[in-house]
A and B are shown apart, each in its own frame.
Chain A
Amino acid sequence: DAGITQSPRYKITETGRQVTLMCHQTWSHSYMFWYRQDLGHGLRLIYYSAAADITDKGEVSDGYVVSRSKTENFPLTLESATRSQTSVYFCASSPGSPNNSPLHFGNGTRLTVT
């Protein structure tokens, strides 16, 4: 089925471990995004990518790494997870700039760092 899928849906990891969250879209959208959602903060942008091999920092990029070797995939890696990175992570894609094109969000990955 076409769409944007995130995996895993739930993840529990320990402080200091590396963890990668996956995002895959089947629309061939140029733009992809990673947001985190926390109570009291709403949605905050971590990283985004305007095309394959092009990435840009968002508001809260420290402690995260992304790559975009293929248009359809945009994995997010926490190199050494911390408790403050416990959150719900949303991946999104859009065919063009988000100011002119709607973002299509996945259903999120709930990450708990113990």
Chain B
Amino acid sequence: GQQLNQSPQSMFIQEGEDVSMNCTSSSIFNTWLWYKQDPGEGPVLLIALYKAGELTSNGRLTAQFGITRKDSFLNISASIPSDVGIYFCAGPPLYSGGGADGLTFGKGTHLIIQP
């Protein structure tokens, strides 16, 4: 079946290090979204990408919409303790039988930062 694959599944890094994670789809996307979930809370939108090749920044975060439109990357520079959480990519629905406005989320990348 169609899938949205995120990697890595988890990351253990030192404070101050840069972080890279990515998401790949079996289908072509017109939109890529990146959300972050803090412990005990719901996810919050970080960055939205709407065009192949687009590179967008939000503070220390930078995300790119892959040229093939089947992948996206999120980078975090100089990580700090509050970057801890789960990062999700999301895009249009990949399942069948449902409505067209339901977002599909990846399984998430767990980021753990050691001071």
A: residues with CB less than 8 A from B are 31, 33, 35, 40-45, 48, 50, 56-59, 61, 90, 92, 97-100, 102-108
Please tell me if the beta carbons of A31 and B105 are within 8 angstroms of each other in the complex: no
A91's closest neighbor in chain B, by CB? B42
Give the residue among A40, A58, A90 with the most B Cβ atoms within 10 A: A58
Q: Say yes or no: is B21 at the interface (Cβ < 8 Å to chain A).
A: no
Please name 17 further chain A to chain B contacts, defined as beta carbons within 8 Å, in addition to the given A41-B107, A56-B102, A102-B45, sorted by A numbering: A31-B101, A35-B105, A42-B107, A43-B108, A45-B102, A48-B101, A48-B102, A50-B101, A56-B98, A58-B95, A58-B98, A90-B42, A97-B101, A98-B101, A99-B30, A105-B42, A106-B42
In the assembled complex, which residues on chain A have CB atoms less than 8 Å from the CB atom of B107?
A: 40-42
Which one of B35, B44, B93, B108 contacts A45 once the chains associate, using CB atoms below 8 Å?
B93
Q: Which residues of A contact B30 (CB under 8 A)?
A: 99
What size tier do the contact residues of chain B reach? 20 to 34
Contact of B115 with A by CB under 8 A:
no
Question: What is the minimal beta-carbon distance from B52 to any residue of chain A, in angstroms?
Answer: 15
Residues of B within 8 A of A (CB): 6, 30-31, 33, 35, 40-45, 48, 88, 92-93, 95, 97-99, 101-108
Residues of B with C-beta under 8 A to A99: 30-31, 92, 101, 103
- Give Cα A50–Cα B103 distance, bound, in whole angstroms: 13
Q: Are B44 and A59 neighbours in the complex by a CB distance under 8 Å?
A: no
B88: chain A residues at CB < 8 Å are 42-43
Q: How far is the CB of B3 from chain A (nearest CB, A)?
A: 11
- Taking a contact as CB atoms under 8 Å apart, the answer to whether B101 and A108 are in contact is no
A99 to B33, CA, bound (A): 8
Q: In the complex, what residue of chain A is closest to B96 when comparing beta carbons? A: A59
Measured in the bound complex, the distance between the Cα atoms of B31 and A90 in whole Å is 22
B102 in contact with A33 (CB, 8 Å): yes
Smallest CB gap from B41: residue in A: A107
